Amino acid sequence: MAYQISGNTVIDDSRNITGPTITASNLFNIPSGNTASRPTSTTGSIYFNTQTNEFEMYNGSSWIRVSTIAA
User: What is the per-residue pLDDT for 28?
Assistant: 74
Residue-wise pLDDT for 9-68, tens only, equals: 555 555 554 555 666 667 777 889 999 999 887 888 888 999 999 899 998 899 999 876
Instruction: Compute how many other C-beta atoms are within 10 angstroms of the C-beta atom of residue 56.
Output: 20
User: What is the per-residue pLDDT for 50?
Assistant: 92
Instruction: Compute how many other C-beta atoms are within 10 angstroms of the C-beta atom of residue 58.
Output: 18
CA-to-CA separations, 12 to 3, 35, 51, in angstroms, rounded: 6, 28, 28
User: What is the per-residue pLDDT for 51?
Assistant: 93
